[in-house]
Amino acid sequence: MACSSSALLPGDATAFAAALRTLINNPQFSDVTFLVGREQQEVFAHRCLLSSRCQAFHSMLSQSQEVRAPLILRQVQPKVFLAVIEYLYTNAVSLNNLIALEVLTASMEYGLDDLRRICVEFIKDTLNVEQVCEAFQAAVAYELIDLQKYCLTFIENCTQEVVQTRGFLELSEPAMQIILRSNCLAIDELKLIYAVREWAHVGSAVLGKSVHEMAETVVSGLRLALLSPSELTTLEEDNRRDQLIPVESLAEAWKTLALCKRRGTRSSLCRRRRGTLSREHHHRLDPQHK
């Protein structure tokens, strides 16, 4: 008696994906309609496919009792939503620099881990000076450690260019704190301080806080003791206008400068960053950092 045998044999995956692609946003045979974005653009889809591919959609569609009632999604751009739909239908997605970060955000909100991975790899491969802070901000917000480290390394290598971008001025306080902890920023401390001052002024105008309140949690990362006495004096004069830096921090910087003249001193806030220009007193701040 012959033994029975069985096997799962794949067909042509390309043809299968191409056939499913024809169903994307196709009103024929669709059984659910989304009104997407501020313009409430219609997007047509199929309940069974969305439900089987995404738990978030399964829950959303299960709550919708009226089959023909459109589901309204105001917080997502139509192009971004269609990219998510494309991925759900074909297991592939068309990305560009204009939507990649928003598709990444959508992947996190919908719990699509593989789409998140695809977006992260695309962002890393296409990262540029203008977009790195926005990508870093998203990585910090969603705790994407790998992307956060990648973006920070990029920022460290191009710091002087990055601090001039709009994205730098729009960073959150937690993101700015992480950047200021780095020893590898390719920028002199004085330029970094004034870049942070501009960031604080922009944030103050947008959020309705004082400059002092805006910068309160980040200025401790500035290494004031790296400045020369004349630079610190000028900074002190500028500080009277906006109170960016607490008086105590300036006093501590003066104290450090006085101490290092006599016997030298060590502190994490005395360590030079990669781009710090040399000052006369630096060799006494940290003998191990030449």
- Residues 120-148: pLDDT tens digits? 999 999 999 999 999 999 999 999 999 99
> What is the residue extent of each domain of the chain?
22-96, 188-232+239-267
Collapsing DSSP states into helix, strand and coil, what is residue 55? helix
Query: Distance between CA atoms of 193 and 223, rounded to whole angstroms?
Result: 9
Using 50, 70 and 90 to split pLDDT, how confident is the model at 281? confident
Q: Which residue, 105, 97, 168, is CA-closest to 128? A: 97
For tokens 């830096």, what's the residue? 245
What integer is the mean pLDDT of 198-223? 94
Q: Residue 264 pLDDT > 60, yes or no?
A: no
- Residues 153-162: pLDDT tens digits? 999 999 999 9
- Residues 26-58: pLDDT tens digits? 999 999 999 999 999 999 999 999 999 999 999
Tell me 130's DSSP state.
T
β 41-45/32-36 pair status: antiparallel
What integer is the mean pLDDT of 266-287? 79
Q: What architecture does CATH give domain 22-96? A: 2-Layer Sandwich (3.30)
Q: Residue 289 pLDDT > 90, yes or no?
A: no
Q: What pLDDT shows up at residue 284? A: 74
> CA 184: distance to chain centroid?
19
Transcribe 173-218 into DSSP letters. HHHHHHHHT-S--SS-HHHHHHHHHHHHHHHHHHHT--HHHHHTTT
Query: Distance between CA atoms of 265 and 271, rounded to whole angstroms?
Result: 10
**Residue 76 corresponds to which tokens in the numbers above?**
């997502």
Q: What pLDDT shows up at residue 256? A: 86
Query: Distance between CA atoms of 137 and 169, rounded to whole angstroms?
Result: 11
Query: What would the 3-class secondary structure string for 218-270 be?
Result: CHHHCCHHHCCHHHHHHHHHHHHHHCCCCHHHHHHHHHHHHHHHHCCCCCHHH
Q: Residue 221 pLDDT > 80, yes or no?
A: yes
Q: How many CB atoms lie within 10 A of CB 59?
A: 10
**Residue 238 corresponds to which tokens in the numbers above?**
């500028």
Collapsing DSSP states into helix, strand and coil, what is residue 288? coil
Query: Distance between CA atoms of 272 and 256, rounded to whole angstroms?
Result: 14
β 41-45/71-73 pair status: unpaired
Q: What pLDDT shows up at residue 267? A: 62
Q: What pLDDT shows up at residue 273? A: 94
Using 50, 70 and 90 to split pLDDT, how confident is the model at 63? confident
Query: Distance between CA atoms of 58 and 189, rounded to whole angstroms?
Result: 52
Using 50, 70 and 90 to split pLDDT, how confident is the model at 66? low
- Residues 1-27: pLDDT tens digits? 566 789 999 899 899 989 999 999 999
